[in-house]
Amino acid sequence: MAKNEEYVRKPEWLKIKLNTNENYTGLKKMMREKNLHTVCEEARCPNIHECWAVRKTATFMILGDVCTRACRFCAVKTGLPNELDLKEPERVADSVSIMGLKHAVITAVARDDLKDGGATVFAETVRAVRRKNPFTSIEVLPSDMNGEYENLKTLMDAKPDILNHNIETVRRLSDRVRARAKYDRSLEFLRRAKEMYPEIPTKSSIMVGLGETKEDIIETMDDLRANNVDIMTIGQYLQPSKKHLPVLKYYHPDEFQELKEIALSKGFSHCEAGPLVRSSYHADEQVNAAKQQA
């Protein structure tokens, strides 16, 4: 075990600069006052200081902060969620206005306790943000909502500007890494979203460093393209705590660059790949670049 721990010691390129300027502290204060959650905090994102303090962006996490799933890579709390907060969509919309966001990302915990998987509140949040912020583009990042067609349709009928659903890892490792979610169900979810509204870009993300091979990653790229996914992001898995899956490999930035080039050669309109890349990292730039390629 000691040998393995030595092997996966964090490399220099994963060191991040902390920045707690007034933008960062101001946004943190506003989130608490509005009783809102962000995946930036709950998932312990390594980019929180850059996004909050420099870019002044954030990814809102609706439907509470307790997830019904216990994926082995994720730091979000697991348990029995609270009742739905039907005023949450308006608070998110108000916060987007206060922050002056040009691009808002809305994600959520998995709510397998709800028949619609949270789709109704998701859709209401999209509509509220659009009503109060007509010039803000909106990206949604839902769970698979139990794979139910009507749940996805409820969300897609709100017409977000981009539908993002993460497949998270390669097929061979999916059952070990994810809880309840299924690799093929995620592919079906992405394909159905594109079939419902072909003009809305779709996006997905994987983490690397969990024991996958280069061939596994390329297979996932092919699977995503076969289901008409437009944008792909690839980032380094970082172990949130000792209870979570260990990191088996830290990829070098040059390896991420190679994966990006392979993805683009496969036909993705845009690919963001790097050690600190996350699904919603520089999301506005990803969407704009994809549109330019369309």
Binding residues: 40, 45, 51, 67, 71, 74, 280
First to last CA, the chain: 48
Euclidean distance between CA atoms 205 and 268, whole angstroms: 12
Asked if 67 contacts 74 with a C-beta cutoff of 8 angstroms, the reply is yes
Euclidean distance between CA atoms 131 and 27, whole angstroms: 22
| DSSP code string of 172-226 | GGHHHHSSS--HHHHHHHHHHHHHH-TTS-EEEEEEE-SS--HHHHHHHHHHHHH
Annotated binding site for [4Fe-4S] cluster: 40, 45, 51, 67, 71, 74, 280
Half-sphere exposure of 107 (CA within 13 A, CB side): 24
Closest CA to 133 of 92, 85, 163, 164: 92
Length of the chain: 294
Asked if 250 contacts 271 with a C-beta cutoff of 8 angstroms, the reply is no
- Name the residue type at position 2: A
Euclidean distance between CA atoms 225 and 240, whole angstroms: 30
Euclidean distance between CA atoms 168 and 234, whole angstroms: 9
| DSSP code string of 131-166 | HH-TT-EEEEE---GGG-HHHHHHHHTT--SEEE--
